[in-house]
C-alpha cells in the first residue's frame, strides 16, 4: 500500500470512527450515569435515520429549511422522544438488575422495529444531499473524496468538543458527575436528580439520532440498520471504559482503524478482529481504557 492510499484509508478510518463515537458517546453516558444497559440504543440510531428521511420534505415545505434544518429538527424531536421515553419506561429500569434491563430493552428493540415497519414500511430509502454538500475533493490521481464525509467528520469533532466542554467545564456537567457518583447525596443537596437523568437520557438519544440522520445519506435508510451499529457501539463503550466520553472517543478511533484496515488487509478475518481487540484489552485492563476516578 503506497503512502497516498495509506493516507486515504486513514481518513476513512477516522471518519468511520467519528460516526461510531457519536452513537457510542450517548450510550456511554446513559450506561455510565444511570447504569442502564440499553440494547435499544441502536433503535435510536435507526429512528434518527428514518426521521431524516421522513421529515425532510415536511421541513422543507413548512419551515422552508434545508438539510441542516432537518438535522436540527431530528435532533430536537429525538431529544423530546428520549425525555418522554425516560419518564414513561426507562425510569422503571433503574431498580432492576442488569439482566432484566437487557431483556426488557431487547423486547423494546422488537417493538421499535415493528412500529417502524407499520409506520414507514419496509423499503430501502435514500436521503438526498443538499447541493452544497455534494461533490468531491480530488485526492491523488484517480480518486476523489466525498465532501459529505468530511462534513460528517467535522460534525463528529464538533460534538466531541462540545461534550468535553459541557462535562468538564459547566455546572451542568458538574451536576452530572455528582449525580453519577452519589445519587442520594446529590439529591439531598437540592438538585433534582430525576430531571437530570431525564436530560441525560434525552441527550443520549439525541446523539444517537444525530448520528443516524447524518449517516442516512451515506448508508441509506433500511430495516435492521440499528442492530449492526448496536453491537459495535457496545464494544466501543466497553473498550473505552463505561462512563468515559474520552474513552469512547479513543476506542471509537481504535475500532475505526481496525475495521477499516482489517477490511482491506484481512477481509475474511475482519469481523473477528474487533472482538479480538476487545477481548485483549479487557484482559489487560478489565475495566476499559479509562477507569473512573
Partner 1 sequence: MLNRLLPAATLLALAAFSWSGSDYYTGLAIKVMIYAIFAQSLQLLVGGAGLVSLGHAAFFGIGAYAAALLSPESGAAGLWWLLPAALLAAAAYAAATGALALRTRGVYFIMVTLAFSQMAYYVFHDTKIGGGSDGIYLYFRPELSLAGWMPFDLGDARSFYFFVLACLAASWGFLALLRRSAFGAALAGIRINEQRMRAAGYSTYPYKLAAYVLGATLAGLAGFLFALKDGFVTPELLAWEQSGLVLLMVILGGMGSLGGAVLGTMALVLLQELFQSQALFGDYANHWHLPLGIAIIALVALLPDGLAGLPAQLRERRHARAAAPKPGAAPTHRKAAPARLPIQGEPHV
Partner 2 sequence: MNHALTRAALAAALTLAAGGAQAADKIKVGFMLPYSGTYAALGNAIENGFKLYVAEQGGKLGGREIEYFKVDDESNPAKAAENANRLIKRDQVDVLIGTVHSGVAMALAKAAKDADTTLIVTNAGANAITGPLCGPGIFRTSFTNWQPAYAMGPVAHAKGHKTAVTITWKYAAGDEAIGGFKEGFEKAGGKVVKELSLPFPNVEFQPLLTEIAALKPDMVFTFFAGGGAVKFVQDYHAAGLDKSIPLYGSGFLTDGTLQAQGDSAQGLLTTLHYADGLNTPRDNAFRADYAKAYKAQPDVYAVQGYDAAQLMQSGLAAVQGDFGKKEDFRKAMRGATVDSPRGPFTLSAAGNPVQDIYLRRVDGLENKVVEVAVQKLADPARGCRL
> Are the C-beta atoms of 249 and 240 separated by less than 8 Å?
yes
| 69 in contact with partner 1 (CB under 8 A) | no
Torsion of CA 20, 21, 25, 31, to 10 degrees: 50
| 241 in contact with partner 1 (CB under 8 A) | yes
Per CB under 8 A, the segment of 7-15, 70-78, 127-135, 169-177 that binds partner 1 is 169-177
d(CA 201, CA 194): 11
d(CA 262, CA 86): 38
- Residue 249 corresponds to which cell in the numbers above? 472517543
CB of 266 to partner 2, least distance (A): 12
> Are the C-beta atoms of 83 and 201 separated by less than 8 Å?
yes
Q: Which is nearer to partner 1, 7 or 272 (CB)?
A: 272
Q: Which of residues 21-60 bind partner 1 (CB under 8 A)?
A: 28-29, 31-33, 35, 37, 39
CB of 9 to partner 2, least distance (A): 6
CB of 146 to partner 1, least distance (A): 27
136 bridge partner residues: 146
> Buried (b) or exposed (e) across 149-173, using 16+ Cβ within 10 A?
bebbbebbeebbeebeeebeeeeee
CB of 192 to partner 1, least distance (A): 18
Q: Which is nearer to partner 2, 194 or 219 (CB)?
A: 219
Torsion of CA 92, 98, 102, 105, to 10 degrees: 20
| 144 in contact with partner 1 (CB under 8 A) | no
| 6 in contact with partner 1 (CB under 8 A) | no
Which residues neighbour 60 within 8 Å (Cβ) at sequence distance 6 or greater? Answer: 66, 70
> Are the C-beta atoms of 48 and 243 separated by less than 8 Å?
no
Interface residue list for partner 2 (CB under 8 A): 1-2, 5, 8-9, 12-13, 15-16, 117, 121-126, 128, 136, 138, 140, 142-146, 148-149, 218-220, 222-224, 228, 259-261, 263-264, 267-268, 270-271
Per CB under 8 A, the segment of 5-13, 15-23, 128-136, 275-283 that binds partner 1 is 275-283
Give the residue, chosen from 38, 70, 244, 260, that forms a contact with partner 1 under the rule CB under 8 A: 244
Measured in whole angstroms, the distance separating CA 24 from the mean position of its chain's CA atoms is 4
- Residue 293 corresponds to which cell in the numbers above? 476516578
d(CA 96, CA 93): 5
| 212 in contact with partner 1 (CB under 8 A) | no
Q: Which is nearer to partner 1, 73 or 257 (CB)?
A: 257
Number of residues that bind partner 1 (CB under 8 A): 68
**Binding partner of residue 138 among partner 2, partner 1, none, CB under 5 to 8 Å per kind?**
partner 2
Q: Which is nearer to partner 1, 68 or 103 (CB)?
A: 103
d(CA 50, CA 44): 10
Torsion of CA 282, 284, 290, 293, to 10 degrees: 110
Per CB under 8 A, residues contacting partner 1 are 28-29, 31-33, 35, 37, 39, 92, 95-100, 102-104, 106-111, 113-115, 117-118, 163-164, 167-168, 173, 176-178, 180-181, 227, 231, 234-235, 238, 241-246, 267-272, 275-276, 278-279, 282-283, 286-287, 290-293
Amino acid at each position: 500500500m503506497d503512502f497516498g492510499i495509506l493516507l486515504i484509508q486513514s481518513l476513512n478510518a477516522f471518519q468511520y470512527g467519528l460516526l461510531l463515537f457519536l452513537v457510542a458517546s450517548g450510550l456511554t453516558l446513559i450506561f455510565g450515569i444511570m447504569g442502564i444497559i440499553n440494547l435499544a440504543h441502536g433503535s435510536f440510531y435507526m429512528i434518527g435515520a428514518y426521521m431524516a428521511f421522513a421529515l425532510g420534505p415536511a421541513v422543507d415545505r413548512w419551515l422552508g429549511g434545508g438539510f441542516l434544518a432537518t438535522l436540527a429538527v431530528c435532533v430536537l424531536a429525538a431529544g423530546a422522544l428520549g425525555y418522554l421515553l425516560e419518564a414513561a419506561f426507562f425510569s422503571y429500569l433503574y431498580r432492576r438488575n442488569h439482566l432484566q434491563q437487557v431483556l426488557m430493552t431487547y423486547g423494546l428493540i422488537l417493538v421499535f422495529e415493528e412500529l417502524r415497519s407499520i409506520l414507514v414500511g419496509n423499503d430501502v430509502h435514500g436521503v438526498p444531499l443538499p447541493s452544497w454538500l455534494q461533490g468531491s475533493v480530488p485526492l491523488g490521481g484517480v480518486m476523489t473524496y466525498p465532501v459529505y464525509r468530511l462534513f460528517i467528520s467535522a460534525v463528529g469533532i464538533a460534538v466531541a468538543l462540545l461534550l468535553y466542554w459541557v462535562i468538564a467545564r459547566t455546572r451542568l456537567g458538574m451536576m452530572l458527575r455528582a449525580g453519577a457518583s452519589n445519587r442520594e447525596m446529590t439529591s439531598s443537596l437540592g438538585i433534582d436528580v430525576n430531571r437530570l437523568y431525564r436530560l441525560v437520557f434525552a441527550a443520549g438519544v439525541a446523539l444517537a439520532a444525530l448520528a443516524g440522520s447524518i449517516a442516512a445519506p451515506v448508508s441509506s435508510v433500511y430495516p435492521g440498520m440499528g442492530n449492526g451499529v448496536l453491537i459495535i457501539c457496545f464494544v466501543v463503550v466497553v473498550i473505552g471504559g463505561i462512563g468515559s466520553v474520552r474513552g469512547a472517543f479513543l476506542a471509537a478511533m481504535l475500532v475505526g482503524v481496525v475495521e477499516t484496515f482489517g477490511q482491506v488487509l484481512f477481509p475474511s478475518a475482519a469481523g473477528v478482529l474487533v472482538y479480538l481487540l476487545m477481548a485483549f484489552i479487557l484482559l489487560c485492563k478489565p475495566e476499559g481504557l479509562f477507569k473512573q476516578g
